[in-house]
Amino acid sequence: MAPRGRPTSIGAPALAAAERLLARARRLLIVIPVVVASATIAPAEPPVVLVEDWSRHTTGTHGVPDGWQRQNWGSSKYDFTVVADGPRKVLRMHSDSDNSIISKEVRITVRRSPILVWRWKVVTLPAKADSRRREADDQAAQLYVAFPRFPERIRSRLIGYVWDTTAPAGSIVKSPSVSAVTYVIVHSGPADAGRWLTETRNVYEDYKQIYGEEPPDEIRLVSLAIDSNDTYSTAESLIGEIFFRGR
């Protein structure tokens, strides 16, 4: 009990506690905007659009893989097999004096996801092949992207990223066999054969460099091919993941 005649006060302790809480709140208010600002300016991961990684295919499956379409022309053997490569699955493509191509429909917005990324490995190059010569127009590995233009059957454009036997790497070559196709020679010769390589291409910039204008809004088709019919030889390669992403 407080002594008589001296009023009891709880204001001072309460005020001190309040001041301590306010000081702590001020410190939190200083830290929180910094954290929020950091989260705001952190760069977002570029969007990834998967075309294929073969993970849903059964190992040993032979022929045209599910989700892909065969061509309607030429004499194709489709000696394609889904095989295990360590923990991953990949597509093995083999050619014996034939030309086999498979295609998959896609909807890739070029300006949003212009970067094409894929893994490949060449095992056997077609003998004396050369993308610059019609009589030797064979490649061990080919990846095409198709840009539709109306009417599609006669005006569509295809860029083919290929591994050539003879034509120099870095060359841009108009296909001597198909007028709608332009080759970009990514690799040439056997120097890097037998090992996996990851390739990255800016399809948007490649299109502008090749055709001198802006590309159509979308890529509608991605194709894989192997070819040895002009040189009457054999070829073999493997294809891993294929996807598009932002810059």
Kindly state the helix (H) or strand (E) to which residue 152 belongs, with its residue range. Answer: helix 152-155
Q: How many C-beta neighbours within 10 Å does residue 204 have?
A: 19
| Nearest to 91, CA basis, from 117, 69, 58 | 58
Which pLDDT score is estimated for 3? 42
Q: Residue 99, exposed/middle/buried by CB under 10 A (0-12, 13-18, 19+)?
A: buried
Q: What tokens appear for 234 in the block?
A: 């054999």
Tens of each residue's pLDDT in the chain, 247 residues: 444 444 433 344 444 444 554 455 444 434 434 333 334 454 566 679 999 999 999 999 999 999 999 987 777 999 999 999 999 999 999 999 999 999 999 999 999 999 999 999 999 999 999 999 999 999 999 999 999 876 566 578 999 999 999 999 999 999 999 999 999 999 999 999 999 999 999 999 999 999 999 999 999 999 999 999 999 999 999 999 999 999 8
Which pLDDT score is estimated for 72? 74
Q: How far apart are CA 245 and CA 112, in angstroms?
A: 8
What are the strands, taking DSSP E only, across the chain? Answer: 48-52, 69-70, 79-85, 88-96, 99-109, 115-124, 141-147, 157-164, 172-174, 181-188, 197-202, 218-227, 234-245
Q: How many C-beta neighbours within 10 Å does residue 24 have?
A: 10
Q: How far apart are CA 64 and CA 70, in angstroms?
A: 7
Which pLDDT score is estimated for 7? 41
Query: Are the C-beta atoms of 203 and 159 separated by less than 8 Å?
Result: yes
Report residue 16: phi and psi, to 5°. Answer: -65, -45
Which pLDDT score is estimated for 6? 42
